[in-house]
Amino acid sequence: MKKIVITLLCTTLILTNVVMMNSEVQASEDGTVLFEKGIVDELSPQPLVNVAIEEKNERFIAETDESQVTIPKDMEEPAILSDNEEGQSLSIQVNLDEKQNETISAEDTVVYETKNTSLGIDAFDGGLRHTYVMENKEAPNTFEVIYDADNISHLELSKDGEGKTDGSILIYDKAGETLAALDIPWAKDANGKDVETYYQINENNTVKQVIKVTDEVVYPVVADPTTFTTYFSSGKWIVRGKGKYNRSLSLVPKAKLRASGAFSFSLPFVVLSNAVAKDSWNKVYNKYKNSKHWEKTTGMKNQYMCHFSFAFGKSAFNLEPKRPVRSYFNTVRPPVYCNPE
């Protein structure tokens, strides 16, 4: 990967962040208006390309080749995120302190209106997003999400090699493999200013997001915890040219995986989204490790993490098993750029 590509990507991310931080949004008594006008996506550090939803049998359905999201009309029922390839389903139930008044479909988002809060649920290719809109100071500043699956074991904050967490969460099955990932928490007020927020993991696989509002906060306040289960549109072994590293595992990432890598650049002291990086790598490893072409797992992992963190804009992540195993630093550094020699 060329140095100029990385520079341009970083510059674009910085400029995008400056625009967001300078945007000013007028508060609305009706949170649905915020979704209809696209204000939620304007505030979000991770723009989302929604999958279209269709109303069927008193529910809303969003489908792609790899996954399906079922969103209920009743907020007290769970949304279901299904991985078609793996045959697994994850139930995601939201608990709010306020009762639901109505349900509205707005711009491919199902919006539940309560007295002081709007909750939006929408699907993207590979996952599901919950968006909380605190419309005024009377709105509750905590929201709970309960995760459930037939083989779910536990949830934990994802940690890096030094034991530090960026706030993202991994969901594990009973075999110790990752089922899904919950991305880094964030919250912004109507002027695009960051609002302190974090996740707590409670009993029964429950995640509570705490949003610490102050007197300086301008409403509405927006937060959108995002759950990932699948990450690639395709993956296959290919041969490129005639060089000694011509064999590669070519992975085409979904847009949201690219966005998660890009998101790490907008946060201070964050190298990458730990949970998404680990879950996506685990699923690559488990799916392709038994291939006759697979070798040098440590080197393949370093190449993968390099692509996730710095080369997320490439059309495909090409992992080349014949390349020598180098340290992560020597996999990333110029002029190597994910291709160690």
With a pLDDT cut of 70, the percent of the chain lying above it is 84
pTM: 0.84
Q: Tell me the CA end-to-end span of the chain in Å, nearest whole number.
A: 14
- Look up residue 156 and give its two tokens: 């934990």
Asked if residue 62 belongs to a domain, the reply is yes
Specify the residue for token string 């610490």. Answer: 212
Q: What is the pLDDT of residue 18?
A: 34
Asked if residue 1 belongs to a domain, the reply is no
Query: Environment class of residue 2 by beta-carbon count within 10 Å: exposed (0-12), middle (13-18) or buried (19+)?
Result: exposed
- The CATH number linked to 148 is 2.70.98
pLDDT in tens, 14-26: 333 433 333 334 4
Residue 320 main-chain phi, psi, to 5 deg: -110, 105
Please state which of the ranges 125-139, 185-199, 216-230, 247-261 shows the lowest mean pLDDT.
Answer: 247-261
DSSP string, 151-218: TEEEEEEEE-TTS-EEEEEEEEETTS-EEEEEPPP--B-TTS-B--EEEEEETTTEEEEEE---TT--
d(CA 143, CA 158): 20
Q: What is the pLDDT of residue 247?
A: 97
Q: What is the pLDDT of residue 49?
A: 74
Task: For residues 135 and 40, state if they share a domain.
Answer: yes
d(CA 188, CA 153): 32
Task: For residues 157 and 256, state if they share a domain.
Answer: no
> Could you give the number of structural domains in the chain?
2
Task: For residues 311 and 208, state if they share a domain.
Answer: no
Give the three-class secondary structure for 17: helix
Containing structural domain, residue 243: 232-332
Asked if residue 39 belongs to a domain, the reply is yes
Asked if residue 325 belongs to a domain, the reply is yes
Task: For residues 240 and 222, state if they share a domain.
Answer: no
pLDDT in tens, 276-330: 999 999 999 999 999 999 999 999 999 999 998 888 878 899 999 999 999 999 9
Q: Reply yes or no on whether the pLDDT at 66 is more than 90.
A: no
Strand partners, 202: 206
With a pLDDT cut of 90, the percent of the chain lying above it is 58
Task: For residues 170 and 280, state if they share a domain.
Answer: no
